[in-house]
Amino acid sequence: MEQLPGGRRLRLASSLGLGQRCWEVTLDDERGLLAWRDPRPPRRGADNCFVPTSEIIAVEETELNKKQRSIGKWQKMAKPHAFTVYYVKKARNHRWRCRDVTFWCADEILCNQWIQALKELLEMQTCRPKQLLVYINPYGGKRQGKRIYEQKVAPLFSLASISTDVVVTEHANHAKDNLFEVNINKYDGVVCVGGDGMFSEVMHGLIGRMQKDSGIDQNNPKAPLVQCNIRIGIIPAGSTDCVCYSTVGISDPVTSALHIIIGDCQPLDVSSVHQNNTFLKYAVSLLGYGFYGDVLKDSEKKRWMGPMRYDYSGFKTFLSHHYYEGTISFQPAKHTLGSPRDKDSCRTGCYICKESERQLAEQRKKCGFKHEDEEEWKVIKGKFLAINVVNMCCACPRSPKGLSPAAHLADGSADLILVRKCSRFDFLRYLVRHTNKDDQFDFSFVDVYRVKSFQFTSKLSEDNESSVTDIGKKHFGQFCRDHPACCCNIANSTWNCDGETLDSSAIEVRVHCQLMKLFARGIEENCKDEAAYSHSSVEQLL
Ligand SMILES: CCCCCCCCCCCCC/C=C/[C@@H](O)[C@H](COP(=O)(O)O)NC(C)=O
Ligand SMILES: Nc1ncnc2c1ncn2[C@@H]1O[C@H](COP(=O)(O)OP(=O)(O)O)[C@@H](O)[C@H]1O
Ligand SMILES: [Ca+2]
């Protein structure tokens, strides 16, 4: 142990070989950093590097091969001893890669000391998973799930000494049903390889299992649900991969695997959807009626097209320009500090989400839930082209900022976006803004509210309830008789619930703050990635 001028302790500091030269290598316990720098003065700091120990993937003793030994200093050494450190390298656009660096020295004891010290530090990272349950949907996206897992993810898990039980699903709901049967306590996490639909399935299995084990009735819309502490990791291999993109910042299997390995944790709000005291679904990303429901329903018939089906069905649905009549009621989310029109987005370590977490803990301590129903409800009736309720920004490669750029991952609220009846041209302007930086809510026909609960009843089901003999009933699926060209559809739309269709014209939605956790850390603030590794900051540290 070495003492530095500032009183800081270094666990190890040695001169070790890296390539052809000797480098000063330090392991700083207090700061949790492994650093190596070239002591030669001329090219100041040119090749200095450091890695937080929390981002070291593995340490291995290394046998240097003949080629390595035949060059430079190796020749003079009887038998050099070496070890390799595998670590996370942050690249552009939130992409992470696994890199390695091999150090050598003549002294076997010193080499072992380093391996031992680094392994001890890895052991201390208690948030890392050791045993994972993996579900692969072989038919998601471009049908590459199995290949992606085997070639890109499994080798990294094995490098990090993570054991896995792998299930390749044979039918829809295979993963969900399986989660009710397995010995869940054996695992530190569940990994799903697939798209948003597959993630939704795994989430239903886990949350459902938790409630069942705790004797909570999911059919009761007011039941305080039990939080799910087993984290889910998403390896993106689907068509949209919105949950992965919105929680990591990129859809990239290797990046996601590395977030799982280092044991990241991102809490997530979950909405429950009920109809008349019957549980229907949970949702974490988009709950969409009208446009996004119709796109999904049409695209299901075109699965053979792969991810392209959304472009085809999107275009077709846009042309059909159907709007739907109904009544919306919601309770505004007064507890959260943010608003949907904020300029700042939810980022790693978001203080708005932390504040909600604090409130949640306080609420639990008091052991009672407020009489939420007594709080204010707002009611809006109208004709809508789209009703979107989003728990997170819903960013994905098609829409890099998402449907609600300022929505938060874990603040206990959802953003309710209402797109009222407007011209095709205006609706196109709105859709185009999903894909660029312009304000999506700056239209007279678009309203946005931050809500904690929400209800919707389509006019059709309201009418049916009030008069059973309503002739409209006979005409489901046909266009408005009085106005053949008006695009008002007397059939209901479908809900797009995280990429799964849900046929229900009257639903009740409630946001459950931080009901589950992912192996992720939210989207990191941009540009800092490179800055954190800048040479000047390395200089200050050493
Ligand atoms: C004319 C310009 C049109 C621009 C359209 C912009 C599209 C933006 C799409 C954003 C959708 C984000 C919400 C994510 C939904 C997913 O749950 C769902 C299912 O994803 P999956 O197929 O399971 O990965 N995908 C869709 C398109 O409904
Ligand atoms: N083996 C399987 N065969 C058919 N469907 C499956 C299978 N495994 C999972 N599914 C279902 O496929 C649906 C879509 O999967 P997903 O991975 O989200 O792909 P995509 O992003 O292309 O929609 C999910 O609803 C899931 O329940
Ligand atoms: Ca939220």
Task: Report the pLDDT value the prediction gives residue 3, as an integer from 0 to 100.
Answer: 53
Task: Identify the band that residue 8 occupies on the pLDDT scale cut at 50, 70 and 90.
Answer: low
Catalytic residues: 196
Ligand nearest to the CA of 251: 1
Tell me the three state secondary structure of residue 269.
strand
Q: Are residues 132 and 280 in the same domain?
A: no
Q: Which range of residues forms the domain containing residue 203?
A: 126-265+519-542
Tell me the three state secondary structure of residue 30.
coil
Q: Where are the alpha helices (DSSP H) in 339-423?
A: 351-366
Percent over 90 (pLDDT), the chain:
72
Q: Are residues 485 and 342 in the same domain?
A: yes
Q: Specify the residue with its C-alpha closest to ligand 2, atom 22.
A: 141
ipTM of the predicted structure? 0.94
- Closest ligand 2 atom to 196 CA: 18
Distance 326 CA to ligand 3 centre (A): 24
Task: Identify the band that residue 363 occupies on the pLDDT scale cut at 50, 70 and 90.
Answer: confident
Q: Specify the residue with its C-alpha closest to ligand 1, atom 19.
A: 499
pLDDT per residue as tens digits for the range 262-274: 999 999 999 999 9
Mean of per-residue pLDDT scores for the chain: 88
Ligand nearest to the CA of 246: 1
Contact residues of ligand 2, CB 6 A cut-off: 137-141, 169-172, 174, 194-198, 201, 238-240, 499-500
Q: Are residues 41 and 111 in the same domain?
A: yes
- Listed range (6-20, 337-351, 437-451) with the worst mean pLDDT: 6-20
Average pLDDT of span 58-78: 69
How distant is the alpha carbon of residue 295 from its chain centre? 23
Average pLDDT of span 449-470: 79
Query: How many domains in the chain?
Result: 3
Q: Are residues 290 and 159 in the same domain?
A: no
Q: Are residues 220 and 180 in the same domain?
A: yes
Q: Are residues 189 and 300 in the same domain?
A: no
Q: Are residues 255 and 284 in the same domain?
A: no
Q: Are residues 20 and 94 in the same domain?
A: yes
Q: Which of 91, 107, 125 is the last residue of a domain?
A: 125
Average pLDDT of span 442-452: 97
- Listed range (142-151, 163-172, 407-416, 473-482) with the worst mean pLDDT: 473-482
How distant is the alpha carbon of residue 187 from its chain centre? 20
Task: Identify the band that residue 468 occupies on the pLDDT scale cut at 50, 70 and 90.
Answer: very low
Contact residues of ligand 1, CB 6 A cut-off: 195-197, 238-242, 285-286, 292, 295-296, 310, 314, 394, 396, 398-399, 403, 431-432, 434-435, 496, 498-499
Helix (H) or strand (E) holding 432: helix 424-432
Parallel, antiparallel, or unpaired for β 286-290 and 56-62?
unpaired
CATH label of the domain that carries residue 448:
2.60.200.40
Q: Specify the residue with its C-alpha closest to ligand 1, atom 11.
A: 394
What counts of helices (H) and strands (E) characterise the chain?
Answer: 15, 23
CATH label of the domain that carries residue 237:
3.40.50.10330
Q: Which of 100, 125, 150 is the last residue of a domain?
A: 125
pLDDT per residue as tens digits for the range 233-259: 999 999 889 999 999 999 999 999 999
The phi, psi pair for 511, rounded to 5°, reads -90, 130
- Closest ligand 1 atom to 432 CA: 2
Distance 196 CA to ligand 1 centre (A): 10
Task: Report the pLDDT value the prediction gives residue 40, as an integer from 0 to 100.
Answer: 77
Q: Are residues 148 and 236 in the same domain?
A: yes
CB of 428 within 8 A of CB of 417? no
Task: Please state, in angstroms and as integers, the Cα–Cα distance from residue 356 to each residue in 337, 454, 494, 508, following that order.
Answer: 9, 19, 32, 22
Q: Specify the residue with its C-alpha closest to ligand 2, atom 13.
A: 197
Ligand 1 pocket: which of 303, 319, 396 to mutate (most atoms <8 Å of CB)?
396
- Listed range (41-50, 98-107, 321-330, 411-420) with the worst mean pLDDT: 41-50
Q: Specify the residue with its C-alpha closest to ligand 1, atom 16.
A: 499
- Closest ligand 1 atom to 198 CA: 23
Q: Are residues 166 and 291 in the same domain?
A: no
- Closest ligand 1 atom to 196 CA: 23
Task: Identify the band that residue 141 occupies on the pLDDT scale cut at 50, 70 and 90.
Answer: confident
Task: Report the pLDDT value the prediction gives residue 1, as an integer from 0 to 100.
Answer: 52
CATH label of the domain that carries residue 117:
2.30.29.30
Residue type, 263: G
- pLDDT at 328 > cutoff 90: yes
Q: Are residues 33 and 153 in the same domain?
A: no
Task: Report the pLDDT value the prediction gives residue 38, as an integer from 0 to 100.
Answer: 85
pLDDT per residue as tens digits for the range 11-36: 899 999 998 888 999 999 888 899 99
Q: Are residues 10 and 32 in the same domain?
A: yes
Task: Identify the band that residue 371 occupies on the pLDDT scale cut at 50, 70 and 90.
Answer: low
Ligand 2 pocket: which of 135, 136, 139 to mutate (most atoms <8 Å of CB)?
139
Q: Which of 71, 90, 125 is the last residue of a domain?
A: 125
First vs last Cα of the chain: how many Å apart? 15
Task: Identify the band that residue 71 occupies on the pLDDT scale cut at 50, 70 and 90.
Answer: low
Give 150's contacts (C-beta < 8 A, 6+ positions apart). Answer: none
- The 8-class DSSP code of residue 236 comes to E
- pLDDT at 484 > cutoff 60: no
Task: Report the pLDDT value the prediction gives residue 531, as an integer from 0 to 100.
Answer: 38
Task: Please state, in angstroms and as integers, the Cα–Cα distance from residue 83 to each residue in 16, 102, 121, 536, following that order.
Answer: 10, 6, 15, 27
Tell me the three state secondary structure of residue 413.
coil
Q: Specify the residue with its C-alpha closest to ligand 1, atom 8.
A: 399
- Closest ligand 1 atom to 434 CA: 6
